[in-house]
Structure 1
Amino acid sequence: MKITDVETFICGNPWKNWLFVKLHTDEGVTGIGEGTLNGFAKTVEAAIHELKHLYIGMDPHDVETIALKMIRDVYSDGGQIQGSALAAVETACWDIIGKAAGQPLYKLLGGKCHDKLRCYANGWYRGPREPQMFHDKAKEVVARGYTALKFDPFGNAWRTVERKDFQTAIEIIAAVREAVGDEVDILIEGHNRFSVHTALQFAEAMAPYKPAWFEAPVPPQRISSVVEVAKRSPVPIACGEDYYCREQFAELLKHDAVHIIQLEPQFLGISAAKQIIGMVHAHNGVIAPHSAQGPVCSVVCAHLNMASPNFYLHEMFDEFNEPWEEEVLQPPLKVERGFLRPPERPGIGVELNLEQIAKHPYDPGYWIPLFKQGWEKREGQG
């Protein structure tokens, strides 16, 4: 079997532009993948086509060699852009492999480790940055069966915050805890916002509300800063979604400070993601992969999580996005009372609805401006 062609499709929504790929083979088996990267949909799309001379003609089963050709052999560090291009192509290859074998992806990655996957809700807090709004929406999320939910209470903060904004963030955390009770996990999203000092101030202040984790409190580039916060924080630190190679995770894990790892398959590809999950397992850590890029990424994470003994939580953004999103994939990935299972059909188990995608064209204003006031409304910039 040989890869003969690649198609790309961009689907726009105010949250971000999703980038999908479809690989064709000489045996008529096709596979789909995703290369979404916030404000870089067109850039990643260009990379997928610019590098296609490296994978057209390859056997889709040879995913490790395809990864070497698209990453090592280019002899440049394209970071998340290059990683997203690889992940899109490699996911489509795994989809083809599963279809050719007649098996769902998770069966090829180690098999069933769990009966079902516990999900946490994300993206549910669209609206004004007010404690009462967070309180009311949190109650709605729990009423749908979720036993964990994540939110960013920090507005457009960056590095340091004024005392009033600091207090508002803590009031929001308190309001959510009051809304959901003691039995539901709350997860605090930091979005790489703070200096070490500010992050630790927030960690101390939120500790009485018992968050399950404080996510990405400081920028990821200086692992020494991440480690310092993790070792001093009274709240467990989670991170990893920004890293795009094994070496970055090796450097993070060697400090034995962060034990909740949020790897991003969208930047790594499935093969490297599975290897990193093993690295985390060897360090007595758990995984909660980042799956907020788009709907295909969420399906891929479901397969990875099902096949990983050290799975902790599955991120679910899709249920709280635009209502038409559930028509982008056939069949859609469905959460039932806070839990889900990956598709059982061969491959990744879903197909693209190209008619629905065509209704929502690319818009350069569709991205998340995390440091602009009101970004939580996810209305885009166009």
Structure 2
Amino acid sequence: MKISDIKTYPINVGFGSQLVVKVETNKGIYGYGTSGLSGRELAVIGAIEHFKTSLIGKDPNNIGAIWQDLYRGQYFEGGRVLTAAISAIDIALHDIKGKKLGVPVYELLGGKQRDYIDCFASLRFTSKEELFTRAKILIAEGWNVLRLAPAEYEQDSHATFEPRASIVKIANWVSELRKEIGSAPTIGIDYHHRLSVAETVSFIQRMPAGTLDFIEEPIRDEKPNAYETLRKMIDIPFAIGEEFASKWQFLPYLEKGLTQFARVDVCNVGGLTEAMKVAAIAEAHYIDLMPHNPLGPICTAASIHMAAACPNFNWLEEINTPAEQAGTNSPDFYPIQPILEGARYLLPTTPGLGVEFNEELALNHKFVPVETPRLKRKDGSYTNW
């Protein structure tokens, strides 16, 4: 069996964009993958076009060797664009091999270690009323892990975000929410790199102990030393890693205990091949996986198979919940996909990933690149989204 072609399908789904990659073989078996570099799908397509010339004619069963070839096959190895492309190809190769052998992908990763995959609900809100209403809907539906995602800015090209004003407001709302829903539900918050070290400390100090169970990426993650400083000043568990594009980026955060939850994104880190290595390093340091999963059914399926095979999995991110139908799992584009049952996914039993994609619809779809909001402070300076 040889790789005969690689096709790319950029699509708009819900409020975002996705890039589906199909690897075809001369035996009629094909596999689907997806990249995680949201908003830069055209750059990833360019990388895949570069990779295609070296991939045609290769045996798709040699997944590890292909990964090494793609990563090492240029002088300027690594980086988020290249590893997003490698991720999509790697996931598709696992899909092919699972189909060829007639087994789910988790059987290729060591076999299942659990019967279902627990999820946490990603809960976006712009007001206190929206936060409380959505949280109560989720808890009533059996979701006991809430990851709060404040979005108190206008969805336009130049939205305004003032960190100090935000932390005062959000700290009060979350403190009141904890009193409202009690101590049993797990509550985390994702500040999406929008704060400084000092602002993060101020935010945490404004809430009673026990209000939050974790905080996700309050500051940017390029410099681990900044998180070392932050760790000395607050005692809330961290969830970090959705932007990391290799095991090497994860390494200082895992070795130094700078994160308690590894937010590995299988579609950015280098596919299932690299994600399983990150999982093993995390396990050796008693750190659980909390995979990043905002990209649609292929990312969800790949994350489910990884989570099934890892002993140190905790929760999988889910944005299509009873409180927020984000639309990333469109049945028009994905007629076969993982089915959410309450707050969990049951493990698939079909060969490969267990996802099918409507290529004809994608070919007739006019793709429009999606840009993330550009946040500014009131003084006109840029800040993080």
Q: TM-score scaled to structure 1, two decimals? A: 0.90
Distance change >3 Å, CA 130–CA 175, structure 1 → 2: farther
Matched, 1:371 2:375: yes
Distance 1:301 1:81 in 2: 20
| Structure 2 counterpart of 1:35, one-letter code | S
Distance change >3 Å, CA 361–CA 178, structure 1 → 2: farther
The residue that corresponds to 2:135 in the other structure is 138
| Structure 1 counterpart of 2:136, one-letter code | K
The residue that corresponds to 1:310 in the other structure is 312
Distance 2:304 2:293 in 1: 9
Distance change >3 Å, CA 339–CA 180, structure 1 → 2: farther
Query: Of 294, 302, 311, which residue of structure 2 is paired with 1:292?
Result: 294
Compute the displacement of 1:154 (Å): 6.1
The residue that corresponds to 1:150 in the other structure is 147
| Structure 2 counterpart of 1:232, one-letter code | M
Query: Of 342, 346, 351, which residue of structure 1 is paired with 2:347?
Result: 342
Distance 1:300 1:254 in 2: 26
- Which stretch of the first structure deviates more once superposed, 282-291 or 177-186? 177-186
The residue that corresponds to 1:258 in the other structure is 259
Compute the displacement of 1:173 (Å): 1.6
**Offset from partner CA, 1:253-288 (integer Å, 9 cap, x none):** 221232211111112211111011000000011111
**Offset from partner CA, 1:29-78 (integer Å, 9 cap, x none):** 01000014221011111211122112111111111221122111212145
Matches within 5 A, 1:104-119: 104-119=104-119
Distance 1:212 1:99 in 2: 40
| Structure 2 counterpart of 1:90, one-letter code | D
Distance change >3 Å, CA 323–CA 302, structure 1 → 2: closer
Equivalent residues of 1:119, 1:148 under 8 A apart: yes
Distance 2:312 2:272 in 1: 16
Give % identity: 27
| Structure 1 counterpart of 2:348, one-letter code | P
| Structure 1 counterpart of 2:255, one-letter code | K
Distance 1:218 1:289 in 2: 19
**Offset from partner CA, 1:101-151 (integer Å, 9 cap, x none):** 1100111112111121110111x435xx21111111111222222111212
Matched, 1:90 2:94: no
Q: TM-score scaled to structure 2, two decimals? A: 0.89
Distance 2:39 2:139 in 1: 31
The residue that corresponds to 2:194 in the other structure is 193
Distance change >3 Å, CA 324–CA 78, structure 1 → 2: closer
SS at match of 1:265: coil
Distance 1:241 1:142 in 2: 26
Residue ranges of structure 1 left out of the alignment (5+ in a row): 374-382
Query: Of 320, 327, 333, which residue of structure 2 is paired with 1:322?
Result: 327
| Structure 2 counterpart of 1:302, one-letter code | I
Distance change >3 Å, CA 26–CA 274, structure 1 → 2: same
| Structure 1 counterpart of 2:375, one-letter code | F
| Structure 2 counterpart of 1:249, one-letter code | F
Compute the displacement of 1:252 (Å): 1.8
| Structure 2 counterpart of 1:290, one-letter code | H
Distance 2:160 2:242 in 1: 19
SS at match of 1:352: coil
Distance change >3 Å, CA 2–CA 207, structure 1 → 2: farther
The residue that corresponds to 1:379 in the other structure is none
Equivalent residues of 1:149, 1:185 under 8 A apart: yes
SS at match of 1:214: strand
Equivalent residues of 2:279, 2:310 under 8 A apart: yes
Give structure 1 regions of 4+ aligned residues with deviation exceeding 6 angstroms: 157-160
| Structure 1 counterpart of 2:148, one-letter code | F
**Offset from partner CA, 1:315-358 (integer Å, 9 cap, x none):** 11244312871443232322212111232110111111234545
Distance 2:327 2:261 in 1: 29
Matches within 5 A, 1:170-185: 170-185=171-186
Matches within 5 A, 1:49-64: 49-64=49-64
Distance 1:231 1:342 in 2: 40
Compute the displacement of 1:178 (Å): 4.3
**Offset from partner CA, 1:219-265 (integer Å, 9 cap, x none):** 01001112222343221111011111111222222212322111111
RMSD: 2.3
Distance 1:308 1:125 in 2: 29
Distance change >3 Å, CA 253–CA 133, structure 1 → 2: same
**Offset from partner CA, 1:166-215 (integer Å, 9 cap, x none):** 22111332344345432211110021122111112222224535322100
Equivalent residues of 2:337, 2:354 under 8 A apart: no
Equivalent residues of 2:3, 2:60 under 8 A apart: yes
Distance 1:10 1:47 in 2: 14
Distance change >3 Å, CA 174–CA 358, structure 1 → 2: farther
| Structure 2 counterpart of 1:136, one-letter code | T
| Structure 1 counterpart of 2:346, one-letter code | R
Residue ranges of structure 2 left out of the alignment (5+ in a row): 154-158, 378-385
Distance change >3 Å, CA 78–CA 282, structure 1 → 2: closer
Distance change >3 Å, CA 87–CA 68, structure 1 → 2: same
Equivalent residues of 1:295, 1:318 under 8 A apart: no
Aligned residue pairs: how many?
A: 368
Distance 2:337 2:89 in 1: 21
| Structure 2 counterpart of 1:31, one-letter code | G
Distance change >3 Å, CA 117–CA 158, structure 1 → 2: farther
Distance change >3 Å, CA 271–CA 228, structure 1 → 2: same
